[in-house]
Amino acid sequence: MTLQRRHLWLFAFSTLLLGACSGMRPTSEAPRPPVVFVHGNGDSAALWQSTMWRFESNGWPRERLHAIDVPYPLARDADNRPQAGRTSTAEHMAFLREEVQAVLKRTGAAQVVLVGNSRGGNAIRNFICNGGGQNLVSHAVLGGTPNHGVQAIPGVNEANEFSGTGPFLSQLNAPKNAQGDEVCGPAKWLTIRSDNNDKFAQPDGLWIGMKGKATNVTFAGPELKGATNVVIPRIDHRETSYSAAAFEATYRFITGRTPALDIQTEASVLLNGKVVGLGLNPIDAQSGNFVNNLPLAGASLDVYEIDPLTGQRKGAAVHQKTVGADGLWGPFKGTSQAAYEFVITAKGYATTHIYRSPFPRSSGIVHMKPERVAEADRSAAALVSFVRPRGYFDPPRDSMRLDGKTSLPGVPPGAGVASSKLRLDDKIQRTVAAEFNGERLVGLTWPMAEGRTTVLELTY
């Protein structure tokens, strides 16, 4: 049996086991349990968009799907030391607990399903095992969570929550019973990992700034003893949660059934979300910007319908709004056949032109942020960013193209980079296109001299 066939067999066999390991089988008569999605380090609720569409397409009520936005989503460098614009494990867990309690109150359900990516899984484990969530969660799904650390080198940054030898993960991984299980009952647990393509589950420290040094973490680092552990070949760190394959494994585990993977299209779509920005670190201005999910009040957003072949606007703006204290830029009613350009204007940022492929379904988590242009890029006539929020670019694995070229600037071999930046000398506005595994985006270049930049943002 070849290595590739063995990996495929492992995935197929694991998914067959999910039904036996799942105690919940919703029927048409029984209400579907509420699902709370928990994003990863530095991310936002927006990454769960396509996953939620797939749940909806399999009969899950939209009002029973809830993705949280951690205001400050980055972990502290040292969990035991306050750090501006970052959250500790205790703060992260407390925020999740409040969100779960709100969902239970709103839905009247007794329990929720928790689904987390990467750092989101840390908060889920902490909540269930240490934060009073043991009886509030029926199923816990962890995609790509570094359960045994991104590195497990004794004495190396052990105060960080991602240290496999540090106090946070050591107490979570301590045996819970005579069998040595690392999970807390009575919740049922699923982990999803890559066979070898997760940048944060690598035996070599290349992707964490320690090239050539052993991390003491294996490809199986995300697995937990006592959980159902599924391996999906060649998926990357984010795809452990946001891919169709990860959805299938998750759905099987929760329901014991095989889902349809196609996203069902709605004729008209209602879109909304937040405009968020980058904040200046109030303690150390030299440290630059920190990631947050806070509303960018005062920003303005315009929406234009565009020609999907050229990126040219079809007319005047179809939606305009100045963002208020809640950060919301909608609601905007559009169609699933149309392609749109979103233009964000905000003080201190470049005017950002975001191009997306058509939205097949409604969504309230279409979050967007304007760009800040690096000093080194200001000399370009035009700047185009090609981004994949729900996964990484992997040149040996993926079929991709940007402005006619198959080699993406700044994207090395291996699934570790989610954006590519193209600097252009063209002073005349023109069409620019990008493709990734069948998804195609088309937009226009905009003059950097006017403080404008283009973002081609993939949905899948």
Q: Does the pLDDT value for residue 9 go beyond 90? A: no
Q: Does the pLDDT value for residue 80 go beyond 90? A: yes
203-211, long-range: CB < 8 A, 24+ apart: 205/151, 206/414, 206/416, 207/414, 207/416, 208/150, 208/151, 210/151
Q: Does the pLDDT value for residue 2 go beyond 70? A: no
What would the pLDDT profile of 93-146 be if each residue is shown by its tens digit? 999 999 999 999 999 999 999 999 999 999 999 999 999 999 999 999 999 999
**What dihedral angle (degrees, nearest 10) is formed by the CA atoms of 31, 34, 35, 36?**
180
In the sheet that holds 419-424, the strands lie side by side as 319-322, 300-306, 339-345, 351-356, 452-457, 382-387, 419-424
Mean pLDDT of the chain: 92
In terms of C-beta density within 10 A (0-12 exposed, 13-18 middle, 19 or more buried), how is residue 91 classed? middle
Distance CA 84, CA 77 (A): 11
pLDDT-based confidence at 31, cuts 50/70/90?
A: confident
Q: Does the pLDDT value for residue 170 go beyond 50? A: yes
Distance CA 442, CA 311 (A): 5
Nearest alpha-carbon partner for 34 in 131, 123, 114? 114
Partners of 210 in the β-ladder: 205
Partners of 319 in the β-ladder: 303
| Token reading at 17 | 């086991």
Name the residue ranges covered by the structural domains of the chain.
3-255, 268-457
What would the pLDDT profile of 368-396 be if each residue is shown by its tens digit? 999 999 999 999 999 999 999 999 999 99
CATH 3.90.230.10 assigned to domain 268-457? The reply is no
Q: Do 3-255 and 268-457 have matching folds?
A: no
- At residue 12, the pLDDT reads 44
Q: Which CATH number fits domain 3-255: 3.40.50.1820, 3.40.50.1010, 2.60.40.1260, 3.40.50.12780?
A: 3.40.50.1820
pLDDT-based confidence at 279, cuts 50/70/90?
A: low
- At residue 289, the pLDDT reads 56
DSSP string, 74-108: SBPSSTTS--TT-B-HHHHHHHHHHHHHHHHHHH-
Nearest alpha-carbon partner for 88 in 78, 102, 101? 78
Give yes or no for a contact between 374 and 383, defined as CB atoms under 8 angstroms apart: no
Please identify which residue in the block is written with the tokens 């030391």: 81
**Portion of the chain with pLDDT greater than 70, in percent:** 91
**Portion of the chain with pLDDT greater than 90, in percent:** 90
What would the pLDDT profile of 416-436 be if each residue is shown by its tens digit? 999 999 999 999 999 999 999
The span from the first CA to the last CA of the chain, in angstroms, equals: 32
Its sign, for the CA torsion 428, 431, 435, 439, is: positive
Find the angle CA(392)-CA(62)-CA(120) to the nearest 5 degrees: 40
Distance CA 273, CA 185 (A): 35
Find the angle CA(116)-CA(415)-CA(407) to the nearest 5 degrees: 140
What would the pLDDT profile of 238-274 be if each residue is shown by its tens digit? 999 999 999 999 999 999 999 999 999 999 999 999 9
Nearest alpha-carbon partner for 106 in 134, 55, 65, 70? 65
Query: 12-21, 155-164, 315-324 — which is least confidently predicted?
Result: 12-21
pLDDT-based confidence at 29, cuts 50/70/90?
A: low
